[in-house]
Amino acid sequence: MDMLSDVVAFMRCGRPTSARVSWRAPWGVSFRSAPGSAGFQVMLRGSCWLIPPDGEPVPLSMGDLVFLPHGDPFGLADDPARPLVESDCDPHSELFASADFGGAGAETVILSCGYRLNLDRTHPILGSLPGVIHLPATLGSHPELRAAVELLAAEIDTPRPGTDTVVSSLLDMLQLYVLRAYFETQDELCTLSGWAAALADPAIGRALDAIHRDPVRRWTVESLGAHAGMSRAGFARRFTGLVGQPPLAYLTWWRLASGARMLRESDASVAEVAERVGYGSEFAFGNAFKREFGVAPGRYRRRVAVA
């Protein structure tokens, strides 16, 4: 898999949730902090205000999308001065639902979607994101993102046979398109740093993609540098500066993180997992895994199975 596809698959655990909510003025609601989750708010109709935990209220209009990657608290209201009532909804209760709230005034329709995250091992790209990402509905921008939103809204409005699978897949698509759009926007604004800069850098992007597409290969700094079209020393410096760790350290981390996911989600033996993530023996994998996670692979599997 390419890197962004890997990141989306890696960050989510369990199934996503979504709801189409109709709000009628006057209304104002606050959502408490939800550690271990990430969520979207997509404006399908009308307008409202996003009340972030810090900073000024943000006006939202039809087609706007807000991504909250860290589960930070936030509010939504028809008026920024409106008192907020705390929501008692469970963001993880249903795959899809519809609901109506508020008074009898102007209608605002919002598509709310959420993910559970594996807090034990989140990809560093998620940690690099700000608490609130606002993607305005600029005419002609990110057409694939808008198409995914329209398909998702249609499925939730009119559930049919297979809707559970369609909604889950569309939410994964939406997550990918949001990340793409955010990084492209940072590139256009010349505000790239950290992982955004790493993904936008053609040479480092090629190396990261190579690691994710073929983690089993016996990569060296020299071979990764050659893949990126750079000298060994120049590649090592640029990779470390942008990604935050040396190339082989990131490769090792990704192999072990991938191994942990396989232990959680498959019935493969520890020896099979070791081979699939590039280790020559179960013993070598077990030692490296214990250094990273603090427990042996078998005990890790039993622990997450109980949880």
Q: Is the dihedral of CA 65, 190, 225, 293 positive or negative?
A: negative
> What does the pLDDT read at residue 92?
47
pLDDT per position in the chain (307 positions), as tens?
677 778 777 777 667 788 888 889 999 999 988 888 888 899 988 999 999 988 899 999 988 999 998 889 999 999 999 999 988 765 445 544 556 667 788 999 998 888 887 766 677 888 778 889 999 887 667 888 888 888 888 887 788 888 888 888 888 888 888 888 888 776 554 455 577 778 878 899 999 999 999 999 999 999 999 999 999 999 999 999 999 899 999 999 999 989 998 998 899 999 999 999 999 999 999 999 999 999 999 999 988 776 5
CATH class as words, domain 3-189: mainly beta
Residues 6+ apart with CB under 8 A from 48: 23, 60, 76, 77, 78, 108, 110
- Number of H-type helices and E-type strands within the chain: 12, 11
**pTM of the shown model:** 0.79
Which amino acid is residue 36, in one-letter code?
Answer: G
Which amino acid, 69?
P
pLDDT of residue 193: 59
Where do the structural domains in the chain lie, given as residue ranges? 3-189, 201-306
The full DSSP string for the chain is --HHHHHHHHHEEEEEEEEEEEEESS-EEEE---TTEEEEEEEEESEEEEE-SSS--EEEETT-EEEETT---EEEESSTTSPPEEP---TTS-SS-EEEEE-SSSEEEEEEEEEEE-GGG--HHHHTS-S-EEE---TTS-HHHHHHHHHHHHHHHS--TTHHHHHHHHHHHHHHHHHHHHHHHHHHTT---HHHHHHHSHHHHHHHHHHHH-TTS---HHHHHHHHTS-HHHHHHHHHHHHSS-HHHHHHHHHHHHHHHHHHH----HHHHHHHTT-S-HHHHHHHHHHHHSS-HHHHHHHHHH-
Q: Does residue 114 sit in helix, strand or coil? A: strand
pLDDT of 54: 85
Which class is 201-306 in CATH? mainly alpha
Coil/strand/helix, residue 45:
strand
- Cα dihedral sign for 54, 55, 60, 65? negative
Q: What would the two tokens of residue 182 be?
A: 């955010």
pLDDT at position 139 is 60
